[in-house]
Chains A and B, each alone.
Chain A
Amino acid sequence: MSINLYKMQYTVDERGYYGEFGGAWIPEMMYTNINELKHRYLEIMEEESFRKEFDELMKDYVGRPSPLYYARRLSEKYGSHIYLKREDLNHTGSHKLNNTIGQILLALKLGKTRIIAETGAGQHGLATATVCALKGLKCVVYMGALDVKRQDPNVRKMKMLGAEVIPVHSGNKTLKDATNEAMRDWISHPEDTHYIIGSVVGPHPYPDMVARFQSVISAEMKKQLAEKTGSELPKRVLACVGGGSNAAGAFYHYLDHPEVELIGVEAAGLGVDTKETAATLAVGSPGVLHAARTILMQNHDGQVTEPYSISAGLDYPGIGPLHAHLFKTGRARYLNATDEETLRAVLLLTQLEGIIPALESAHALAALEKISLQPNEISVICLSGRGDKDMQTYLDYFGY
């Protein structure tokens, strides 16, 4: 029961909108593929054979359910109860595999034989290369040339898995540019190719589809919390937000429980008052990016501005339309953490709990410093990934 099809207040409407955000602002060259996906994704996700294989792979291949871990020493430090949802313990080291397992099965049902993906931190590229190896499909991953450098271990893993990694040299050479290039690839290969988008971004139905695949995170959280604390509902859920897929998954089953506080944490880079930031909701405005109406970082002429964050996975000038909607309606609150605050949080978790988190996930941890935590409250943090890929950055910064 990992893919939840139950209706909630914050699902997309017929046209793929969450309130004023979303839609499919695609060029005609993408129409046939998007239209097929739009008409078939729910039906395929409900098929018995799809569900059975998805659930089996989630359990035996990804290693789900991921543990909900009570972080005792971290809780003591903050004087409040803190649980970590351990997506870092998934196969390949992040939540990204939940989505790629779902999409590869979908792609097979659609008869596709070639898979493309964009990646920032390389975690989504790795998760895509992994499922392509699992199913024997050809895999091409687009990655900004800067990210190829800063996430080298993941690049090598993808290659070892048989994927072709194509460095992208346009723009800032990061996630946005990789996404542009993947879209161009899809335009040029409309027949045999499925594009596995790695977050809750892009044209409808991607944001909804990816959120549904990731919703396994909060489905498990509810059950685990009930077992451990007697209630499914925590005081709050925190997650880092790049495009927003781990946050969408961690929020999903709590959206209809207004008493649960939902907090997304964006990457402030060097600070939201500098130009070197990726905190889209703090500095952005409405527009269309990567075929969705959402909030994005742009100048007065509507040119998308280049983001900056130390974390390749959050270094993106947009945000999924669901989050734009949650932000606009006030259902979720969005904070941000700078590079430095994040690195401090990395070391704190490492030395208090013996867990080295991914840079992305550590943004959520850093936000603990920014909210008032009461002694009897329960906070759940989605620990979206592990720090293996960031070791070079950590070693350089901390000097070990």
Chain B
Amino acid sequence: MNAGTEKLEAINEMPSKSNDNPMLWLYGVKKTFGSNNVLQGINLKLPKSKSLVVIGGSGSGKSVMLKCILGLITPDDGSIFVDGEETVGLSIKKRNQLMHKFGMLFQGGALFDSLKIWENVAFGLIQGQQMARADAYYVAIERLRAVGLGKKVADLYPSELSGGMQKRVSLARAIATDPEIIFFDEPTTGLDPIMADVINDLITETVRDMGATALTITHDMGSVRKVADEVAMIYKGQIIWQDDVQNLDNSGNEYVEQFINGSAEGPITDDARKDGLI
């Protein structure tokens, strides 16, 4: 039995109060849309101040998993522990407090198009933390610079920016409030290779310097190797593999191997053929 499988078994054990809690712990999370069983029992553990990258095919439910953690979608079954606290079925008030711990970069950016760029970045500070607008403005400018955007864009509206620039603004907004746990849903898609590397560095720095815990979803293997402490692969609604990033290349899991090598033939394609999907 290789190390990856052992780790997966440790993750699959029932959550208990005794051992020191991981920052995030999903246990048996299920979600179905109509007849589409998207999540079929997700088990995932994310230690404090670590960076976990989740990989998996398009449509495998990665974004849905993030939305379950954030409480935007209520799972049909299972538990989600944040810092040892069960968060499924939390009251609106407690959920609101919990949200202060989170930062989220949405896959589509999700910038508020009626607000200026700097107001977008400062939104969590002004509305969530009641910071004065003038102070929040300077923080926003600072954050924008960190993602490679100058002062010039601050007064523009999201529709005036390119897709990649919007993505970076969205990233700046996600980290503006210094959250404890940050979720990045495909942070580097749509960026040029240089800017992608800047963003990878930024994520790494955020985890290292702010001590934040990060969960990143990406298809970009360069990004995986750069930002991940641990890697997990989601397949058919379950986590089929999770281990340290060093073991990614000798995972011993043929699904992971096919995915990271990006080969057209392999067990994933075979399964899809069997299911009549291709």
* A, B co-complexed: no
Q: Which residues of B are at the interface with A, using a C-beta cutoff of 8 A?
A: none
- A interface, CB within 8 angstroms of B: none
